[in-house]
Amino acid sequence: MPELAADGPLSADGPLSAGDFSSWLAEVLAAIRGEGATDVACGSCVACCSSAQFVHIAPDEQDVLAHVPEALLFPAPGLPRGHVLMGYDEHGRCPMLRTDGCSIYEHRPRTCRTYDCRVFPAAGVLPDEPGKAPIATQAARWEFTYASSSDSAEHAAVRAAAAFLRSRHDALGPDLAPATTTQLAVAALEVHRIFVHQHEPSVHDVRVELSSRRSNR
């Protein structure tokens, strides 16, 4: 899982304004708790629709399910009956994606509505799993701004949390260690507060925080 270069975007395209870091962090943490969503300036970007992602659809998303052919769905492993996943084609593209964008945009799944690739530059990592190159390219373009030194410190804490989660992967154990770059970035956001106050928390402290956040989702 590569780290994001600190001295500029990795993409040939120009930088994108990710907005004020601390305001965004408050919004994305609320979205992770299921309280609203962030407003991502996707423009014409369809990187997350073209990056070999399984799209989760929950049983309460009846409007979505009415607009996705049943043949594209299969039971979501490890989740209760009724939770399904939509796969992708041989090019990593969502089967609902057309040349002019999402064909069910007004009815797209919650997973799509809440996806925010700014979690990667926030954590200082880029996704390197197979098929994720389009997201990595787009994510590298975001640049946050900071209203105060405490905002900068907050971002430094998120990056420190991500570095800790990566370096202590084995010590955290298979039940709590992030399995993917996306999980690592989200976990870093969730536990960053203890890194604001402690330069190097213990593995025990981080496990407690991760367990608490997971049970509150």
The residues of the shown chain that bind ligand SF4, judged by CB under 6 A, are 49, 55, 94, 96-97, 102, 104, 108-109, 112
Query: H or E segment at 138?
Result: helix 133-139
The number of residues making up the chain comes to 217
Q: For residue 18, report the phi and psi dihedrals to the nearest 5 degrees.
A: -90, -5
**By C-beta, is 1 or 102 nearer to ligand SF4?**
102
What sections of 79-217 are H helices per DSSP? 110-114, 119-123, 133-139, 149-167, 169-172, 181-191, 193-197, 203-216
Place of tokens 């996704």: 127
Q: In this structure, is the dihedral angle defined by the CA atoms of residues 209, 195, 40 and 134, taken in order, positive or negative?
A: negative
**By C-beta, is 42 or 208 nearer to ligand SF4?**
42
Shortest distance (Å) from residue 140 CB to ligand SF4:
20
**Sequence-distant (≥ 6) Cβ neighbours of residue 208 within 8 angstroms:** none
Shortest distance (Å) from residue 133 CB to ligand SF4:
16
**By C-beta, is 55 or 206 nearer to ligand SF4?**
55
**By C-beta, is 104 or 194 nearer to ligand SF4?**
104
Shortest distance (Å) from residue 1 CB to ligand SF4:
22
Shortest distance (Å) from residue 97 CB to ligand SF4:
4
